[in-house]
Structure 1
Amino acid sequence: MHNKIKELLQFGTVGAKVAIKGWIRTKRINKQVVFLTINDGSCQQHLQVVMTPSELPKELLNQLVTGASVAVSGCLVASKGTKQSVELHGDHLTLLGSAPDYPLQPKPHSLEFLRTWMHLRFRTNTFGAVFRIRHAISYAIHHFFHERGFCYLHTPIITAADAEGAGELFRVTSLDAAHPPKNPDGSIDFRADFFNTATNLTVSGQLAAEAAAMGLGAVYTFGPTFRAENSNTSRHLAEFWMVEPEVAFNNLDDTIALAEGLLKSLSADLLKTCPEELDFLNQRLQGHKNEADKTPSMDLLERLQFVLEQPFARITYTEAIAILMEAASNKNGTFAYPVTGWGIDLQSEHERYLVEQHFKRPIVVTDYPKDIKAFYMRQNDDGKTVAAMDILFPGVGEIIGGSQREERIDYLKQAMQRAHIEDLNWYLDTRRFGTIPHSGFGLGLDRFVLFVTGMENIRDVIPFPRTPGHVAC
């Protein structure tokens, strides 16, 4: 048995005999003392190990380099340093794994460089903090829904449905790619495929979750989704994780309240559970501020307080367009995408302007034009808009998107025809047999982690990012 460094730093007793295992982060040596800093992944902090050179054979001493793994036993003593209360005076050390030519030396590395070593970047301070925060958020999400009586649902990853109707799908097939069977018109005959039909990786678990909510009342999915969008921006991934609750008998107002409650609960939880990680990443963020960027920026604690302190503002899409049309950034041409009038799709820069400069708090935008939203959203009485909502955050723009779902089968059929959606008879059955008002939303986990950690690129908040041209590991 060995002790976790986190437990020793929090509860370790001076004089106790302990044993640790971990990776060397740094080594300092003089004639009298060898100083090693060891991290085992259990927390953000390292434990300092002190030994005398005479206790270590020269060959072993030369192998104690950054990246090497070791087991050390000894006695805890009070630390003379200010960064930790105890340190380990070792009396026995075993080399578990050597690390000659280890590429991540104890010096600053760019995030671009670390992406070339993504299988090793977990060992750095920055990515240790990011992924412990990601874990804490994931756990808190499950806790939030469990406390409120939701049923956790595992929805299909392979599906024949395109929930968004955008067509940006990864095809799944067992057919011979070089010689697929063909129909008389030259198209691929998917009847010979494994599922006897064309299938793809899911872009959303929503449609299946709707069916489950019709019997279970309140459900949520939490899993990977996939989109074959050829985008190399700092906000897009080909594989990303979504949290998607669906609730029977809820309307749009109910869903907005649920979404705001989730975001506030997660923010409060992180302030309690991840103070060291947030502090470390906040110092990193302050050190990387770009003086040329005139946009007001908040530190990480301010971001979380920003979410917690006051109710989210609420406006309609029509009101948002009016504000943006009159914005100085629109009139003087600062926006990369000029706001020309009602009906346009809001870009990230528009969303951030509304949050960061106009309202100065998170906002909920509702009632979007039906022509720019998905087919399943409930049409409003005006015939032009749908009962949709997006929640906008500083730094990232849209963090949640949701809607009241169209429960009227005639309206749903018309919307599916406009979007050229076919082969969803099972989905229509949920409206044929005991249809009800219901509502839900999707939270992009990766975007929320991006917001919380202050990282600049979404590729740095998911363990192994999948983007156009990159599928390492």
Structure 2
Amino acid sequence: MQTTPVRDLFRRTAELTGQIVTVAGWIRTIRDQKQFAFISLNDGTFFSNLQIVVNRADIADYDDIVRLGNGSAILATGLVVATPEARQPFEMKALEVMVEGNCPTEYPLQPKRHTPEFLRSIAHLRPRTNLYSAVFRIRSVASFAIHRFFNERNFIYVHTPIITGSDCEGAGQMFKVTTLDLDQIKRNEQGEIDYREDFFGKQTSLTVSGQLNGETFAMAFKNIYTFGPTFRAEKSYTVKHAAEFWMIEPEIAFADLDDDMKLAEDMIKYIIRAVLAECPEEMEFFNSFVDQGLLARLNNVLDNDFGVLTYTEAVEALVKVADRFEYPVYWGCDLQTEHERYLT
């Protein structure tokens, strides 16, 4: 079966106008006007929905179609018609609608805004919402941009171990991995767990960083990067902490701090440009409904060089306004979030 992605209809509207195409996707909403109905269809290939006009005179099972629930899966064949005076540049005039799977009336995603807290309770359905479809599509584009960036600069992509026996960060906040029977843990005379019968014969954990492995590869390939899942058993429930996330770790041989800073700036700008170019609809959605001013800030990043100052210069600048901060500032201290926010 050959179907046309909704993305193609939006990106190649002039070419496909007047053509009969078949689309496959899930109903977002249906509005029944008795003699005709409007179906908003999303197939996952594009942020915006395709509007399908279903005419009672053209569709034999019209009454069954308009009773379909939100989330139902359909195949629709129809004529692509330009609508220059309407909100959308085109629509599909349905010639045939086939039901692949009806959705029950208790389907929880209705045509309204849902909070992230509610969507967390139905995680298996949230990719169908505008918010999370935008998030995951941008994440995909950003991930490919990361690989392109390093590939264009002849970096070697290294897969570092997920299960490891080393604590790269040295903080000990790691998720443990074991096949031992937790109800019958054997301990030695010192009360320590005996890992000799464990799968690896030693204590193992989920990785907190691929840096150690990356450094050894950099000594052979010169420029490498790792990009994979990382796990931190830190019970700190803030926007800056996550139990699982994907981390980019480049390692560059024969380089100094200036080279490192330039690589970081170039990479961030490269990813931003890729996302703005490939996901304009998603970014406009975020700018309008999630974080107003987002596009202006991102373009400001692209249009300006990153500011650079030494640690000493940073401390000197902070000391001048020390009364603004909760944490004291002195040479040798670790800069806190409030200090970083002021500097940036």
Q: Taking structure 2 as the reference length, what is the TM-score of the superposition? A: 0.94
Could you say what secondary structure the match of 2:80 adopts?
Answer: strand
Kindly provide the CA deviation profile for residues 390-424 of structure 1, in whole angstroms up to 9, marking residues without a partner as x. Answer: xxxxxxxxxxxxxxxxxxxxxxxxxxxxxxxxxxx
Contact 2:318 2:329 in 1 (8 A): no
Find the partner of 1:242 among 244, 247, 253: 247
Contact 1:115 1:121 in 2 (8 A): yes
Distance in 1, Cα, partners of 2:62 & 2:306: 63
Residue 71 of structure 2 corresponds to: 67
After TM superposition, the structure 1 = structure 2 runs for residues 318-467 of structure 1, keeping only pairs within 5 Å, are: 318-327=312-321, 330-332=322-324, 335=325, 337-355=326-344
Find the partner of 1:94 among 92, 98, 118: 98
Query: Is residue 36 of structure 2 the alignment partner of residue 44 of structure 1?
Result: no
Matched letter for residue 319 of structure 1? E
Kindly provide the CA deviation profile for residues 51-78 of structure 1, in whole angstroms up to 9, marking residues without a partner as x. Answer: 1235253662354221111110111111
Distance in 2, Cα, partners of 1:117 & 1:251: 48
Matched letter for residue 324 of structure 1? L
Change (3 A) 1:56 1:317: farther
What are the ranges of 5 or more consecutive residues in structure 2 without an aligned counterpart?
A: none
Residue 302 of structure 1 corresponds to: 296
Distance in 2, Cα, partners of 1:135 & 1:81: 34
Distance in 2, Cα, partners of 1:234 & 1:67: 32
Residue 159 of structure 2 corresponds to: 154
Distance in 2, Cα, partners of 1:151 & 1:115: 37
**How far off its partner does 1:31 sit?**
2.1
Query: Is residue 129 of structure 2 the alignment partner of residue 129 of structure 1?
Result: no
Matched letter for residue 312 of structure 1? F
Query: Is residue 40 of structure 2 the alignment partner of residue 31 of structure 1?
Result: no
Could you say what secondary structure the match of 2:275 adopts?
Answer: helix
Could you say what secondary structure the match of 2:95 adopts?
Answer: strand
Kindly provide the CA deviation profile for residues 295-342 of structure 1, in whole angstroms up to 9, marking residues without a partner as x. Answer: xxxx12222222222221111222222222222xx415xx4x322423
Could you say what secondary structure the match of 2:250 adopts?
Answer: strand
Percent identical pairs in the alignment equals: 46
Matched letter for residue 316 of structure 1? T
Residue 201 of structure 2 corresponds to: 196
Contact 2:7 2:45 in 1 (8 A): yes
Query: Is residue 139 of structure 2 the alignment partner of residue 139 of structure 1?
Result: no
**How far off its partner does 1:250 sit?**
1.4
Query: Is residue 276 of structure 2 the alignment partner of residue 282 of structure 1?
Result: no
Residue 123 of structure 2 corresponds to: 118
Distance in 2, Cα, partners of 1:256 & 1:56: 65
User: RMSD value over aligned CA atoms?
Assistant: 1.7
Kindly provide the CA deviation profile for residues 254-278 of structure 1, in whole angstroms up to 9, marking residues without a partner as x. Answer: 1111111111221222222221111
**How far off its partner does 1:285 sit?**
3.2
Matched letter for residue 349 of structure 1? E
What are the ranges of 5 or more consecutive residues in structure 1 without an aligned counterpart?
A: 290-298, 356-473
- Aligned residue pairs total 339
Distance in 1, Cα, partners of 2:128 & 2:271: 26
Change (3 A) 1:71 1:250: same
**How far off its partner does 1:80 sit?**
5.2
Matched letter for residue 98 of structure 2? T
**More displaced stretch, 137-146 vs 105-114:** 105-114
